[in-house]
Chain A
């Protein structure tokens, strides 16, 4: 791929770190960028960095970043040729992708049909089956009597999940470990399905115990080339929000990796997919005996894409722009290699000791560490105001090293030198996670934070060491009283160790 794209101006329909990431890619490629921002983001980093910035509405996302009309209007007014949706917001909205096409704009992502097709879990499962890729055994019995649902459960096998067919988000989902708990599970799921969705149709699925979440990055161009860029393991998550991702996964053997990569490519080929996408799998067991099952396809660039960039050396955002411009993928599958190890830690503005409550406020002090093997993708700078309107992701810290342990130690060293003050963040939790014996041993599954979370929080909630009060008092004494009435950073020129005469250290 060379950088001679037909685009000279791209609109980035997003905010935060991903908008910054795409704007930087545009700059590198010699393409002008147009940022959009809501009133809550006037002066935000992404709006400041872009070549042009257009206000698209008030703070609520439905009136700004989710408003197709407002974004297309901004695109028309700035004369862009293409729109990059980032992730979240409109990135997986088929109607938006279609609207872009109708407006004569290139949507940097898959065609609307692919978004639509993968958006339906049933259609996606059918597609995976067509591609010969295993799915988790399950069925929706045509006869929905309790007796027929129980018969279906016996065909699927225990342990299993009874799920509302209409549902989502785990509502009404019941586990039956054996025959004795089956009748109760069916009755409960039925009641909750009717109450929540007005539809008591039940679906039976085999329960994968202690699964890992392993996903494969795929790139597909418009000329029939489809390649994968290996896996990302994303098992450290809470309530389906990923916290730490890495590549390679400690659970895959080379043979299993090859089979999963081929399965991912087969799914995307069958779906006639284009651009960057991710095939998610559940992995049961480890090593040669492990089994994988297709979960779903994410039809967008993922938050955790830097992990793949670090181990493959391929810039995924640049690849997306090139593919959208009609370029041919320059790599054969064999030319893409996985080198070393990368670990991403997501830094959220939330308090791990108060039920992960999102935090809002000014970043009084924000200093990114700079050291070998550390990459930080951030959407904020010191002085930024973190608001309650959007996702609490502040930044992603990605550590690379020759080995997993080298990357892990780099991540730890970097987090210990990454002060973020003014709002609470999950950095202390990330440090504890990266030091956890189970994480160090690679013995992780998607239930990790459910089983270990309480222990981690108990360690985090210890009283401050006694010197903290002394340090605080010393620091405070260096700041002029006038500075204390303002809301801005009050660290200007305040060096407690040279200006504080009363302190002997």
Chain B
């Protein structure tokens, strides 16, 4: 058996009854529910409520409202699909992150123009780090 953490491919198995098992080195039980705002995640008996801000939506600075998109977690930048100056539309995939062997598309929170790109493909980014900025 290859070690999932090294191969980069884990296994997800439906256990039925709305529960899943993720094999990422450990066997973990997962269930989820999506509410209007938050996402509820059950992981091995613990429950986490994930507000939209820590997902893939921009975390805006109240002071300047720059529209900075930040990384929701420590992750590797897998691909960047846009460049500075490019116009984007809401929900367009701007870049792809990878964390815990899962790919996460980063989408535009609104229509706008890419003001700057603050990361490179292959770069390891910490949670909260600005990835790129959108302006109107």
Of B10-18, B61-69, B113-121, the segment with at least 4 beta carbons within 8 Å of chain A is: B10-18
Quick check: A497 and B45 within 8 Å, CB to CB?
no
Contact with B along A317-351 (1 / 0, CB 8 A): 00000000000000000000000000000000000
Nearest chain B residue, comparing its CB with the CB of A428: B46
Cα A418 to Cα B43 in complex, Å, equals: 10
Q: Which of A367, A427, A479 contacts B34 (CB under 8 A)?
A: A479
Minimum C-beta distance from B79 to chain A (A): 11
Nearest chain A residue, comparing its CB with the CB of B24: A467
Q: Which of B33, B41, B103 contacts A491 (CB under 8 A)?
A: B33
Cα A424 to Cα B45 in complex, Å, equals: 12
Residues of B within 8 A of A29 (CB): none
Residues of B within 8 A of A425 (CB): 47
Quick check: B96 and A489 within 8 Å, CB to CB?
no
Quick check: A417 and B100 within 8 Å, CB to CB?
no
Residues of A within 8 A of B55 (CB): 469, 472-473, 476
Quick check: B40 and A421 within 8 Å, CB to CB?
yes
Nearest chain B residue, comparing its CB with the CB of A487: B36
Does B50 sit at the interface, judged by CB under 8 A?
A: yes
Residues of A within 8 A of B129 (CB): none
Quick check: B105 and A421 within 8 Å, CB to CB?
no
Count, chain B residues at interface, CB 8 A: 47
Minimum C-beta distance from A12 to chain B (A): 29
Q: CB within 8 Å of A: which of B52-100? A: 54-56, 72-74, 93, 96, 98-100
Count, chain A residues at interface, CB 8 A: 47
Quick check: A505 and B50 within 8 Å, CB to CB?
no
Quick check: A469 and B12 within 8 Å, CB to CB?
no
Does A42 sit at the interface, judged by CB under 8 A?
A: no
Cα A415 to Cα B93 in complex, Å, equals: 38
Contact with A along B9-44 (1 / 0, CB 8 A): 111101001111010100001111111100111111
Cα A420 to Cα B47 in complex, Å, equals: 8
Quick check: B41 and A367 within 8 Å, CB to CB?
no
Q: Which of A364, A428, A470, A487 contacts B73 (CB under 8 A)?
A: A470
Cα A422 to Cα B42 in complex, Å, equals: 11
Does B110 sit at the interface, judged by CB under 8 A?
A: no
Please name 11 further chain A to chain B contacts, defined as beta carbons within 8 Å, in addition to the given A471-B32, A486-B36, sorted by A numbering: A419-B29, A431-B45, A464-B50, A466-B74, A467-B99, A468-B43, A469-B54, A469-B73, A470-B73, A490-B34, A496-B32
A-B contact pairs, 22 of them (CB 8 A): A365-B40, A367-B18, A367-B31, A418-B45, A420-B47, A421-B31, A424-B47, A466-B127, A467-B99, A467-B100, A469-B54, A471-B102, A473-B50, A475-B39, A484-B36, A491-B34, A494-B34, A502-B103, A504-B98, A504-B102, A505-B9, A505-B12
